[in-house]
Amino acid sequence: MNQSHASSPLAGAVHDLATEVVLALRSGDHLATVCGAAGIDEDNRTGIAAVRVIGADLLLPSVLHGHHPHPGDIAVLHRAVREFPPRPDASDAAVWSHWGMLSALHRTASVPGRPPAVAPGGDEPNAAWLEGAAWQAFSHQLSVLAPLAVPAASSAVHRAAAHRVVDLSRGFVRAVRRRNWLQAAGVGRWLAALDGLPDTLGLDRGLDFVELMGGPDPRVALHVRAARLMSEGRAR
């Protein structure tokens, strides 16, 4: 782990974990364990907290490359769900992020001998808070919820995004102009998963620029790589 990119043990663990997700996205290696490569197991509480930050994207390589995730990664994600449930005063985005983790677990094969984190088919959280949000706030919130932007997934957040592609496009341009590379990458990932992009947006070139300028933050590379893989899949 490069300490220059880590202001705390948790930040360092998030950096390492995101880096391993990016490497798995690039290689498509279905035998690798993302958590193991990042030095995280079920007894590493800082690592478990980092998994909570990364959220459902821990299993993203298996989703986008079409293979079963490593059992070790599933086990650690189960632990993160149990250890860090949303607090009563949690933000709507935090509640949806937790729901995204549960949904990711429900889409995977069961781990032998391990009960599910919750019963499948849990209700979606309320998404009414997105309906009246200004395009700036809407784009920001969707960037935070970028791990929900995966193929063949449906939720109220997806439906809201599909109805506001122009607003997300404006948000992408705004984030680039403000040099907020992580937000731009997250919004760009949503746009790659949606239909109806404005012809003038130039998303592919924009993502190239975001990745270049995003520099050392592997979370930027994670969202950009996810966007590219989804775009390639939709083009086939």
CB 59 within 8 A of CB 77: yes
- Look at residue 111 in the predicted model and tell me its pLDDT: 44
pLDDT at 64 over 90: yes
Percent of the chain with pLDDT over 70: 89
**Which of 30-39, 84-93, 112-121, 165-174 is predicted with the least confidence, judged by mean pLDDT?**
112-121
Give the position of tokens 């994207």: 57
| Among the listed residues 118, 117, 110, 102, the one whose alpha carbon sits nearest the alpha carbon of residue 153 | 102
- SS3 of 188, please? helix
The stretches of the chain forming alpha helices (DSSP H) are 9-27, 34-37, 45-54, 60-65, 71-83, 92-106, 128-131, 135-144, 156-162, 165-177, 181-192, 203-214, 218-235
**CB contact at 8 A, 61 and 22:** no
Is the per-residue pLDDT at 48 higher than 90? Answer: yes
* Tokens standing for residue 53: 């930050």
Q: How many CB atoms lie within 10 A of CB 3?
A: 9
Mean local confidence (pLDDT), 31-53 = 86
Looking at per-residue confidence, does 115 or 34 come out higher? 34
pLDDT of residue 68: 87
- Residue 125: phi and psi, rounded to 5, are -65, 170
pLDDT at 234: 61
Q: State the average pLDDT for the chain.
A: 88
